[in-house]
Structure 1
Amino acid sequence: MTDAVTVPVSERAAMLRRPWSLQARLMATVIGIVALILVGSAVAIGAGVGDALSKSLNANLEATTRQLQLFEPGPMQNVRDADDVLSTGRQTAGYLLLVDSPFDGVSAAVVDEDLDVTPLTAAQTAALTRDAAGRGLSTVTVQGLGSYRVTPFKAGTVTGIAGLPLSELESTIAEILTTILLVTIGGLLLLGVAVALVIRRSLAPLRAVADTATRVAALPLAEGDVTIAERVPAEEADDRTEIGRVGAALNTLLDHVGTSLTARQRNEERMRAFVADASHELRTPLASIRGYSELSLRGIRQSRETTGESRALAEATAQNTEQALERIQAQSLRMTALVEDLLLLARLDEGKELVYGAVDLTRLAVESVTDARAAGPDHAWALEVDDAPVVVAGDASRLHQVSANLLANARVHTPPGTHVTMSVTVEEGSAVLRVQDDGPGIDPAIAGGLFERFARADVSRARQTGGTGLGLSIAKAIVEAHHGTITVDSRPGSTTFEVRLPARPADPAA
């Protein structure tokens, strides 16, 4: 049996707890802060209003107490009891009075809600005397009457206690706090709705970014032919806002990724085509070498078996063997040339294989046209150069390879009788070599990839219509290694290859 893994309850709860969204956190933070502010304000307002009402009650109590008529009119000034004092005065409802006279004893009464005077019971009087004795302005609870703010007073030999009920003050404070609470709750609800709408609208671009990123993440980017059409909507990618800049940045990133994927796909297709083309080009000479090798071996075996027979058969066998070896040599040379071309491209890509020196393009053009005239007598060849030499810094043999390749291209891909002109000039500090012909032009379908490796107009790859398809790619690599450019402009009746190289003054001592 396998041991069960026990996960603590707290850890399970943490794993199952769903994290808060950004909108929920923002709403909780804003509403929480505002709620704290409102509660703090309510407490402060309640305390302030309660203190003000308490001071007003105290002042009213003291003013009313000073106006009490404790003595009867006349020379004797007899002390009046509490209910008599309250009956002859104009006291507010709830007013309480206790009078303690050394001759008449203690009396206490209160004005009820109907403004009638009601004596206090002995227990209420005793409790009031006990709770308020020896204290100044204070709050006491009178059984059956509630809380009172009381103050002691003294007039001659008479002492007493006067008080006003706190019920009205407490009711006012409760009403204020209730109003504040209701306003706070309503305000928080309104604030919650407003904040939710504002945050939801403000975070809409961020949600669009997240949705777009999620859709892009679901794409099979590892597959070959993948295009990323997903983008953040334009209205959610306004770079004038912070979140909008995130959407705009994601769109830019997706553009770059899409471009990279397209380039990767194109490179993979080129690599597959390169491998297929290289395999095709190498397969023919290898098959020839194998066939002629087998033929040679068969001839040698037959020669051994026919020893002593007719001399003519032996000579025929030797002749066949010699021809087979010649074909093997020819195919080996062809395969060697292809491998050397591939090796040259690899070295040029690494920035190697060039031996720099002073190269006279004028002389190079003369030699190249002379060679092309001998190789293609059925074409009309022309040369346009100035008397002054045009000198560049470069590898003479490689630049000769470029010019020879351009002329051979014009010879192979144009019909007999085509006029081919090579010119050398200096324009704006650059040496310009052009090869122009009036042939049928280049097929627009292949013009864009003309300088790619193994690019050929004849997809059947027949040997009579051209070479391996590496010539123009090698020419481009050589020119770019010399910090130059090679371009083509073709239309029916005129095709011009232009090579531009940095020119340098001719050496007078050369």
Structure 2
Amino acid sequence: MIRRWTARLRPASLRARVAWIVLALLTSVLVVLFVVVDLALSDRLHDDARTRLTDRVGLAQQLDGQLSAEQLVDRLGGDGVTVQLCRTDGSGCATTVPNPAPPRPGAGDPRGPRPKPVRANADVPVETAGSVLFVRTQLNGAQVLTLSLDTTQITEALARLVVLQIIGGAVALLLAGLAAARLSRTALRPLEQMTTLARQIAAGDRGRRLGTAGPDSELRRMAAAFDAMLDELEAAETRMRTFLADASHELRTPMAGLQANAELLLRENPDRAERERVAVALVRESRRAARLVDDLLTMTRAGEGIDLAQERLDLIEIARTETARAQALAPALTFLVEGDEQCPVVGDPLRLGQILGNLLDNARHATPAGGSVTVTAERRDGRAVLTVGDTGPGVPPGERDVIFERFGRGDASRSRNTGGAGLGLPIARGLARAHGGDLTYVDRPAGACFRLDLPAAAAPASSHPGPAPTDNGSMQRPRGSPGGRR
């Protein structure tokens, strides 16, 4: 219940909350200060009253025997002190009443100068009766001296001080509240500007930014972080739009082929040879679309984290298997496998074969007829390094980062004659990084070269050398044409 009412009473505005917090802190400080002052002043005034009585006792002991009872009473009275001097048998009492009005400055005491008070040698107890303080002491001549002092004036003075403190504190809190509201409005103005700008950006004005001008402060750092977040969101939105545009563009070609061939079968009644040609075209276009969809799924899974099998593999054997497949697809090229006899790694054989297959597909599409593709695998400082180099035209320096982006290719055309859809190298790099390695482009004078760097597996205690690297291909009849990289 208390929390519910507290939540209802809490201001919704940050500026109002700051002002209320400042007022609450200032109120707490004033209350503590006023209480401490009142207690200290009250103690001091009461100590002064007790000291006044004990000093009069010392003065009475000093003048005892030198003055008559009336003269002694007259000397001890004044300043609110009531004096009563009586014999022990109750007879012959002399009394004086306190003079509440002190003499005017410079007028002097009409009763003459007073001796300087002397403190009593003995500790005289001060007793209390209501608001009256009094002391009793025995003088020579069987006389009892009673001194009393009414502290009502002290209590009233403290009460007036409390009233003044309350009025002054209320005025101070009012002024502090106005100042806090104005200062908080000035201090939080950048936040209001950020809110306005954020609404404009949400309304569609994506190019606006908060800016980082001004002194280095928390608001400036927040504005810089906000601008960086907007830049990243805008870049991500641009990449997403580009990805969707490229994906739709790549899918449009096979889908258009499928639609055209299907309409041909429905609209006309071709002979058997034409039907077989149309069926082959349908299968080819459907495989192209299926491969593109599979590549897109692989890219998505690699970015989100893909489950990999962990097996001990020989990178050389994977290279030989994939080069044999590539040789069958491009008999006009020469494929070579070189390097160490064994290059063990731990990973997923299917995904590692996909990495090398994408690299070899990229190389055979880019290498002209009569060229060669060389695969080299070796161990370097606990790493398994595999390079795939070709004798093609290479990749210009300005396009070496583009080829690792989705749908990025070495040429600007979007023609299917150049090979894939620009997903082979991004998929290969994503799978390499999923294995704890990386795929990079290596600069060299002629041709293109890609390096796959993976953590090497520890060599077993007893290992047998494998067969020496062999040539998996030979120069044959020229076939194929150069093209862009996937």
Same fold (TM over 0.5): yes
Give 3-state SS (helix, strand or coil) of 2:256's partner. helix
**Do the aligned residues in 2 keep the contact of 1:153 with 1:161 (CA within 8 Å)?**
yes
CA distance in 1, matches of 2:185, 2:11: 24
**Do the aligned residues in 2 keep the contact of 1:150 with 1:163 (CA within 8 Å)?**
yes
Give 3-state SS (helix, strand or coil) of 1:432's partner. strand
Which structure has more RCO (C-alpha within 8 Å, separation ≥ 6)?
2
The structural deviation recorded for 1:467 is 1.0
CA distance in 1, matches of 2:12, 2:363: 75
**Do the aligned residues in 2 keep the contact of 1:299 with 1:318 (CA within 8 Å)?**
no
CA distance in 1, matches of 2:235, 2:90: 116
Q: Which moved more, 1:19-28 or 1:345-354?
A: 345-354
Q: Counterpart of 1:283 in structure 2: which amino acid?
A: R
Q: What does residue 43 of structure 1 align with? A: 42
CA distance in 2, matches of 1:26, 1:215: 28
Percent identity between matched residues is: 28
Q: Counterpart of 1:297 in structure 2: which amino acid?
A: L
Q: Counterpart of 1:464 in structure 2: which amino acid?
A: N
Q: Which moved more, 1:369-378 or 1:454-463?
A: 369-378
**Are 1:410 and 2:381 matched, yes or no?**
no
Distance change (3 Å), C-alpha of 1:497 and 1:38: same
The structural deviation recorded for 1:222 is 5.9
Q: Counterpart of 1:499 in structure 2: which amino acid?
A: L
The structural deviation recorded for 1:293 is 1.9
Distance change (3 Å), C-alpha of 1:414 and 1:353: same
CA distance in 2, matches of 1:356, 1:158: 118
CA distance in 1, matches of 2:420, 2:89: 138
Q: Counterpart of 1:335 in structure 2: which amino acid?
A: A
Give 3-state SS (helix, strand or coil) of 2:408's partner. coil
Distance change (3 Å), C-alpha of 1:390 and 1:294: same
Distance change (3 Å), C-alpha of 1:333 and 1:69: closer
Q: 1:389 aligns with which of 342, 365, 369?
A: 342
CA distance in 2, matches of 1:474, 1:444: 21
CA distance in 2, matches of 1:270, 1:263: 10
Q: What does residue 52 of structure 2 align with? A: 53
Q: What does residue 416 of structure 2 align with? A: 463
**Are 1:487 and 2:440 matched, yes or no?**
yes
Q: 2:99 aligns with which of 161, 166, 169?
A: 166
Q: Counterpart of 2:99 in structure 1: which amino acid?
A: L
CA distance in 1, matches of 2:303, 2:191: 37
Q: Which moved more, 1:447-456 or 1:61-70?
A: 61-70
Q: What does residue 324 of structure 1 align with? A: 278
Q: What does residue 297 of structure 1 align with? A: 266
Distance change (3 Å), C-alpha of 1:46 and 1:257: same
The structural deviation recorded for 1:382 is 5.0
Distance change (3 Å), C-alpha of 1:450 and 1:235: same
**Are 1:361 and 2:315 matched, yes or no?**
yes
Q: How does 1:242-257 map to 2 (within 5 A)?
A: 251=221
Q: Which moved more, 1:374-383 or 1:485-494?
A: 374-383
Give 3-state SS (helix, strand or coil) of 1:27's partner. helix
The structural deviation recorded for 1:21 is 2.9
**Do the aligned residues in 1 keep the contact of 2:388 with 2:449 (CA within 8 Å)?**
yes
Give 3-state SS (helix, strand or coil) of 2:49's partner. helix
Q: May I ask how many residue pairs the two structures share in their alignment?
A: 389
CA distance in 2, matches of 1:222, 1:375: 52
Distance change (3 Å), C-alpha of 1:161 and 1:384: same
Q: What does residue 30 of structure 1 align with? A: 29
Q: What does residue 450 of structure 1 align with? A: 403
Distance change (3 Å), C-alpha of 1:427 and 1:296: same
Q: Which moved more, 1:484-493 or 1:221-230?
A: 221-230
Distance change (3 Å), C-alpha of 1:207 and 1:498: farther
Give 3-state SS (helix, strand or coil) of 2:268's partner. helix
Distance change (3 Å), C-alpha of 1:503 and 1:95: closer
Distance change (3 Å), C-alpha of 1:401 and 1:62: closer
Distance change (3 Å), C-alpha of 1:328 and 1:353: farther
The structural deviation recorded for 1:151 is 1.8
Q: How does 1:304-323 map to 2 (within 5 A)?
A: 317-323=271-277
The structural deviation recorded for 1:44 is 1.6
**Do the aligned residues in 2 keep the contact of 1:446 with 1:457 (CA within 8 Å)?**
yes
Report the TM-score, using the length of structure 1 for normalisation.
0.58
CA distance in 2, matches of 1:231, 1:395: 48
Give 3-state SS (helix, strand or coil) of 1:453's partner. coil
CA deviation map 1:179-206 (0-9, x unaligned): x97xx98xx99xx89xx9xx99xxx9x9
The structural deviation recorded for 1:149 is 2.2
Q: What does residue 111 of structure 2 align with? A: none
Q: What does residue 401 of structure 1 align with? A: 354
CA distance in 1, matches of 2:35, 2:283: 96
Q: How does 1:101-180 map to 2 (within 5 A)?
A: 149-153=82-86, 159=92, 161-163=94-96, 165-167=98-100
CA distance in 2, matches of 1:384, 1:509: 15
**Do the aligned residues in 2 keep the contact of 1:364 with 1:400 (CA within 8 Å)?**
yes
Gaps of 5+ in 1: 1-11, 71-85, 97-136, 140-145, 238-246, 304-316
CA RMSD of aligned residues (A): 5.3
Q: Counterpart of 2:289 in structure 1: which amino acid?
A: M
The structural deviation recorded for 1:263 is 5.1
Q: Counterpart of 2:440 in structure 1: which amino acid?
A: T
Distance change (3 Å), C-alpha of 1:52 and 1:481: closer
CA radius of gyration, larger in? 1
CA distance in 2, matches of 1:455, 1:429: 32
Give 3-state SS (helix, strand or coil) of 2:84's partner. strand
Distance change (3 Å), C-alpha of 1:148 and 1:48: closer
**Do the aligned residues in 2 keep the contact of 1:227 with 1:258 (CA within 8 Å)?**
no
CA distance in 1, matches of 2:242, 2:394: 24
**Do the aligned residues in 2 keep the contact of 1:437 with 1:494 (CA within 8 Å)?**
yes
The structural deviation recorded for 1:492 is 6.9
Q: 1:426 aligns with which of 367, 376, 379?
A: 379
CA distance in 1, matches of 2:251, 2:354: 22
CA distance in 2, matches of 1:460, 1:208: 56
CA distance in 2, matches of 1:226, 1:56: 85
Distance change (3 Å), C-alpha of 1:51 and 1:325: same
Q: Counterpart of 1:37 in structure 2: which amino acid?
A: V
Q: What does residue 341 of structure 1 align with? A: 295
Q: What does residue 282 of structure 1 align with? A: 251
Q: Counterpart of 2:82 in structure 1: which amino acid?
A: R
**Do the aligned residues in 2 keep the contact of 1:54 with 1:169 (CA within 8 Å)?**
no
CA deviation map 1:148-186 (0-9, x unaligned): 7242446999835242643466999989x79x97xx98x
CA distance in 2, matches of 1:356, 1:13: 60
**Do the aligned residues in 2 keep the contact of 1:61 with 1:164 (CA within 8 Å)?**
no
